[in-house]
Amino acid sequence: MNQQFQHPMLPQPTHDELARQNFVQSLRMHIFRNISPGNKVLYEKLAKPKFEQEHQRSPQTRYEIREVMQHEPYYRWSSALKRINQEILWDAVNSSVDRQLPELIERAKDQGAELGTLTLDPNFQIPTHQQAVDIHCMPGGYHSEFTEDDVAAGATYDRGAYVYGLGWLGPLNDDMGLSIVQNYLLPEYPDFRPKKILDMGCSIGNSTLPYVDGFPDAEVNAIDVGAPMLRYAHARAESLGKRVHFSQQNAEHTNFPDESFDLIVSHILLHEIPPPSVRKVMQESYRLLAPGGMMLHVEAPLYRHMDVYTQFVYDWETANNNEPFWSAVRDLDLVSLATEAGFAADKTFEKFVPNGAWKANVTNSLLKNGNSGSQGTWFVVVATK
């Protein structure tokens, strides 16, 4: 496993805090490698035959599979273990962040604004759908503030995302943006040189910064609803020497003028908002794009890309892990939503982009072996105006 890059804003765990975080990672890996696969065996040999005997057919939907699986003790136990692992993950990270919070706040202030900018709105209204639940069980969600100049949510997310993902997003948690830039935009559109770029729902800017490097002459803007996320994102970008203009805005309706940007992106934003909001984000993307510009939203695969059992596995996030919109968005036709927003049908499409660009950067395996060493792909919906 790679080590997280030790940039100046990253909270530093003590020996015992790191041991707890490592335990969370080890337990998570054990669950997914050694325990969760048993559910597929259980389904095929026990739960599915029970359903077929009762209904004289195989389960047709993820809901039918859940109905028969939720009565099986092994599934209930493994599901509870996954949820407990999620909760102790945040506890292990939060204890470290809370201990260092005053120092992190001062460190964020010390970064200043020599390169980019930070614009917060004291009257900003957090969307109701974000206030209703702590997304992914992260205490306080992505927006809550508990002290003046709070950066806790950003620090928790930065370290927590790395622990949760077992480092698979790379040392800077930036593989989404990095893979889109290096594995898709630069090789597929070598003459595309956007002058202004917007990252919607940027969180801590981890996926934003690769666009600064990929398009060094562009002005890069990034928006999010959470002030503590943005404070941390700005300080993090400054400490890494990246110029980004962060502002507190809702991607459904921003204050940017029409046709302001040549490239608009998001990275797993869509499944954190309800379908009506996804529709508005598509409409806002169309409004903000200049003629010839490109919109690109990164997501996990949709349900129609999966067999019904895999759909059931993915649906666990909505049923048990505080991801209320995960499954609803997996059911959407994002290409149709883009065309409804105004994009031409012949200029709107979906595709899969290889992930793992950070591995190519670290090992140079992309040049040596002709591939990125990727373990999967990012699903994207793309449109040009």
pLDDT digits (tens, 9 = 90+) for 203-225: 999 999 999 999 999 999 999 99
Query: In angstroms, what CA-CA distances link 138 with 10, 86, 142?
Result: 18, 9, 8
- Work out the average pLDDT over 12-19: 97
- Res 363: pLDDT: 53
Query: In angstroms, what CA-CA distances link 283 with 27, 317, 363?
Result: 42, 27, 40
Q: How far apart are CA 370 and CA 373, in angstroms?
A: 9
Which residue bears the tokens 């698979």?
168
pTM for the full model? 0.94
Please report which confidence band the pLDDT of residue 374 belongs to, taking 50, 70 and 90 as the band edges. Answer: very low
- Work out the average pLDDT over 338-353: 97
Tokens of 289: 């794009």
Q: In this model, does residue 5 exceed pLDDT 50? A: yes
Residue 142: CB atoms within 10 Å: 23
CA neighbours closer than 13 Å in the CB half-sphere of residue 336: 5
For all residues of the chain together, what is the average pLDDT?
94
| Inter-residue contact 344 to 323 (CB < 8 Å) | no
Q: In this model, does residue 240 exceed pLDDT 60? A: yes
Share of the chain above pLDDT 90, in %: 92
Write 71-80 long-range contacts (CB < 8 A, 24+): 72/42, 72/46, 72/47, 74/38, 74/39, 74/42, 75/39, 75/42, 75/47, 78/31, 78/35, 78/36, 78/38, 78/39, 79/316, 79/320
The DSSP call for residue 31 is I
Residue 302: CB atoms within 10 Å: 18
| Inter-residue contact 193 to 117 (CB < 8 Å) | no
Burial of 169 (0-12, 13-18, 19+ CB in 10 A): buried
Q: In this model, does residue 347 exceed pLDDT 50? A: yes
The DSSP call for residue 116 is S
At 161-196, the pLDDT tens digits run: 999 999 999 999 999 999 999 999 999 999 999 999
Four-point Cα dihedral 251, 256, 258, 263, nearest 10: -60
At 306-315, the pLDDT tens digits run: 999 999 999 9
**E runs forming strands in the chain:** 117-119, 196-200, 219-224, 245-248, 261-267, 289-299, 348-354, 377-384
Q: Are strands 289-299 and 377-384 parallel, antiparallel or unpaired?
A: antiparallel
- Res 1: pLDDT: 55
Q: In this model, does residue 375 exceed pLDDT 70? A: no
Tell me which residue of 205, 278, 207 sits closest to 244, measured CA to CA: 205
At 81-129, the pLDDT tens digits run: 999 999 999 999 999 999 999 999 999 999 987 999 999 999 999 999 9
